[in-house]
Amino acid sequence: MRIRGLEQARAWGAAHPRAMDAGLALLVQAAVTMPFVVPRGPELPAATWTAYGLTTLTVLPLVWRRRAPMTVLLAVIAASALYRLALEGPGQPLPYQGLVCAYTIAVLAPARQRLAAGVLLLVAVPVSVWLNTRSARELTFSLFVFGAAYAFGRLTDARQREHLAEAERAAARERARIAREMHDILSHAVSLMIVQAEAGPVAVRRAPERAEAAFEAISATGRDAMGQLRRMLGVLRDEDAGDGRSPQPDLDGLPALLDRVRAGGLDVRYEPAGAPAALPAPLAATAYRIVQEALTNTVRHAGARAATVRIERAAGLLTVVVRDDGRGPRPAPGRPAGHGLTGIRERAAAHGGTATAGPGPDGTGFEVRAELPVPSAAEVGT
């Protein structure tokens, strides 16, 4: 809960930068007010309202620190110099305003402005120390705190850039994932519908009862695809629906998938082994999609009569094998090759596994084999 609260505060700050800058200026104002309200000895300079007003003038520019960091730094230095030269007011334990400016310039300013600010501070800090105590101790301390503020600013800039790059990489991964999901759903459904529609006119002439079944299969396949797409788009539109990965298919849905493929005329046998029901949901969804895409390639390209789906779990490894008796996924002349096999390899690689495709063991047909590591219960918990 605490981490989530910090993330929400950062998000609010990013959405309301002016309010954040005003709040920071008020915080600095509270800090510089302390020497004026703490009881002072008679030998120290008096805490007058004029001195306090001029101190406030050194804080006010911080409200615009994001929009013009170099201008704000110059204004702070000028107001501080006026305070030091024109008045004998209370001093400050730390140069809060200058530290905020140094940090802001390190985070937001381009390289040239950062260099100019560094040169300016290397001149202003020794001059300020000379006007104050003229001690090497104060000079060393002042240079240290300004260097630390600048270093923290550069680290913040590097972290923000890394977060931005990671967000862009995450967005790219999510786009690729959604593209694979859309490809699998549409490619599978459309391929089955095309096969069934092409067989329909022949069945109408030779076996009307089979034609009716083919048209029913087309309708069922289309409804199923529309349902999956509607769920996916609904999740993407709903900002409170998690990460957009639910609902996902799993191995319990394989029998229905194979029934739809059989309705298209391909004889598919299912040979499960091991205990796939205990698989983590993301891994089960990947295994389902690999089978779906492999069978889609068989229906579209292989010219096969039969196929076998085998899923085996043993020794921490889930093996998915889809083998047919066709000629392999060779697109028709003039038709571009699809992205199915590439998607299968990407899905396997996302789980630390591998996927291969090629002729069957005896040199005939075509086989897609994916080997996916099954995480332990401890790994799933983390």
pLDDT tens for residues 262-295? Answer: 877 788 999 887 655 578 888 888 898 899 888 8
- Triad 5, 33, 106: Cα angle to 5°: 55
Q: Which residues pair with 314 in a beta bridge?
A: 317
Mean pLDDT in residue range 351-363: 86
- pLDDT for residue 331 is more than 60: no
Most confidently modeled of 3-17, 145-159, 310-324? 145-159
Q: Which amino acid is at 260?
A: R
Most confidently modeled of 229-233, 255-259, 293-297, 366-370? 366-370
Rounded to an integer, what distance in angstroms lies between the CA atom of residue 166 and that of residue 180?
Answer: 21
> Which residues, other chains included, contact 267 with Cβ-Cβ below 8 Å and sequence gap of 6+?
305, 306, 307
Q: Which two tokens stand for residue 93?
A: 């334990």
10 Å Cβ neighbour count for 270? 14
Residues 186-196: tens digit of each pLDDT: 777 777 777 66
Cα atoms in the 13 Å half-sphere on the side-chain side of 206? 5
10 Å Cβ neighbour count for 268? 23
- pLDDT for residue 64 is more than 90: yes
Query: Which of the pair, 382 or 360, is modelled with greater confidence?
Result: 360
Query: Which of the pair, 339 or 342, is modelled with greater confidence?
Result: 342
Domains in the chain and their CATH numbers?
Answer: 13-134 (no CATH), 167-381 (3.30.565.10)
Task: Report which secondary-structure segment, H or E, holds 153.
Answer: helix 136-206
Q: Which two tokens stand for residue 192?
A: 């089955």
Cα 63 from chain centroid (whole Å): 32
Contact between 250 and 285 under an 8 Å Cβ cutoff? The reply is yes
**Among the ranges given (200-209, 290-299, 355-364), the one the predictor scored with the smallest mean pLDDT:** 200-209
Which pLDDT band holds residue 185 (cuts at 50, 70, 90)?
confident
Rounded to an integer, what distance in angstroms lies between the CA atom of residue 201 and that of residue 210?
Answer: 10
- pLDDT for residue 377 is more than 70: no
Question: Nearest 5°: phi and psi at 39?
Answer: -55, 140
- pLDDT for residue 118 is more than 70: yes
Query: Which of the pair, 105 or 298, is modelled with greater confidence?
Result: 105
Mean pLDDT in residue range 4-8: 61
DSSP 8-state symbol, 60: G
Q: What is the pLDDT of residue 241?
A: 47
Kindly tell me the sign of the dihedral angle through the C-alpha atoms of 372, 375, 381, 382: negative
DSSP 8-state symbol, 302: I
- List the one residue out of 144, 71, 79, 78 whose CA is nearest residue 105: 71
pTM of the model: 0.58
Most confidently modeled of 135-149, 170-184, 246-260, 358-372? 135-149
Contact between 353 and 370 under an 8 Å Cβ cutoff? The reply is yes
Which pLDDT band holds residue 236 (cuts at 50, 70, 90)?
low
Q: What is the pLDDT of residue 204?
A: 57
Residues 94-111: tens digit of each pLDDT: 899 999 999 999 999 999
Q: Which two tokens stand for residue 185?
A: 């759903």
Cα 162 from chain centroid (whole Å): 11
DSSP 8-state symbol, 285: H
How high is the mean pLDDT of the chain? 80
Q: What is the pLDDT of residue 123?
A: 92
Mean pLDDT in residue range 179-203: 69
Q: What is the pLDDT of residue 210?
A: 58
Kindly tell me the sign of the dihedral angle through the C-alpha atoms of 155, 156, 157, 161: positive
Rounded to an integer, what distance in angstroms lies between the CA atom of residue 279 and that of residue 374?
Answer: 7
